[in-house]
Homo-oligomer: A and B are copies of this chain.
Amino acid sequence: MTPTFSLAELAERIGGVLRGDGRAIVTGVADVGEAGSADITWITNPKYVEKLATSRAAAVLVPTDFGPTPMPAILCPRVDRSVAKLLAAFAPAIAKPETGIHPTAVVHHSARVAADASVGPRVVVEDGASIGPRSILRAGVYVGSQTIIGEDCLLWPGVVIRERCTVGNRVIIHPNAVIGSDGLGFYFDGGRHEKIPHIGGVIIGDDAEIGACVCIDRAKFGNTLVGQGSKIDNFVQIAHNVRLGEHCVLASHTGLAGSVRTGRYCVFGGRAGALDNVTIGDGARIAANSMTAKDVPAGQTVSGFPAQEHRKELRVQASLRRLPEVAAQLRELLARVERLEASKHDHP
């Protein structure tokens, strides 16, 4: 069943103010260039306004102070928030998994599973583990010995959480992520790398979201920490004993080496990283494709490798592009100096 709303209903639902005829029927969401006559779209930047002229969209979400539009509009104080509500309104209904333990799941008799939790097919829950109220473990999830999963969590298929880890409440973990694997730790002895035991664990704070195929290694001792509200994209590596602060965002392929510490509200762009033992202050940003080898002060944006203050790096990048011409200028200057030197000798 496709969700269907009148424009007036939608405006109310997403927290905006209707401008124009509220009776139009909307059945979907689409890009401005691809919207059909029953779709709603959005635009935030006035420079794209001309795209509206040729759009077939039934209506458009715009910021509150946006100028006239060729179709009905919903004026929104925060377009991003309203778009999120819009997408929620049109989300297809997905059957919720049944509560209880699927007959193909293997749950140890000493594990505790809340009565209203949902443990899906092929899930394995080891001895002493605990699954909190309303948490959903999709097919094939593995929960190790003595690991604790909080309330209202959602673990997608193939997630592996090893022993003695703790996952907070309302945590989402995407498919095939691995929590609590041993870190890379060896000492060199007799020509061989000998394993350093990793006897610590991992603690993931409330409301964190962990992407697909993410690896968060357990600590050598103590715990690797993911702060509450932090959002981690696919393929991110969190090494042993990292302490990631609260409400950080780490884009895909980012890597935090051993014992990195970050403050709150840090942002790592795609394929960003930090070498081991680096400390990163509150609100610092590591740009995409950049890796810091030293501490980053709070609030600073760094880029490049080794990363430096972003404005400095931009200047270096700009100079770099002109480098071949610098070499040419240098050659020319040398020739001119040589001529000057020669002429000096002409005038003794």
Contact = CB atoms under 8 A, between A and B. Distances in A.
Contact of A182 (B174, B186, B213): B174
Interface in A216-247: 217, 220-222, 229, 231, 233-235, 237, 239, 247
Nearest to A180: B175
A253 to B, nearest CB: 5
Nearest to A90: B199
A327 B319 contact: yes
A121 to B, nearest CB: 4
A315 B324 CA distance: 6
A282 to B, nearest CB: 12
A13 interface: no
Interface size range on A against B: 35 or more
A80 interface: yes
A233 B198 CA distance: 14
A330 B95 CA distance: 69
Interface string A31-51: 100100000000000000000
Contact of A215 (B140, B211, B275, B334): B211
A291 B320 contact: no
Interface string A160-176: 10111000000010111
A139 B106 contact: yes
Contacts of A347: 347
A217 B213 CA distance: 12
Interface string A100-140: 00101010000000000000111010010000000000111
Nearest to A194: B84
Contacts of A189: 78, 81
Contacts of A222: 30-31, 34
B193 A231 contact: yes
Interface of A: 28-31, 34, 78, 80-81, 83-84, 87-88, 90-92, 94-95, 102, 104, 106, 120-122, 124, 127, 138-140, 142, 145, 156-158, 160, 162-164, 172, 174-176, 178, 181-182, 184, 186-187, 189, 191-199, 207, 209, 211-213, 215, 217, 220-222, 229, 231, 233-235, 237, 239, 247, 249, 251-253, 255, 257, 270-271, 273, 275, 288-289, 291, 305-306, 308, 312, 315-324, 326-327, 329-330, 333-334, 336-337, 340-341, 343-344, 347
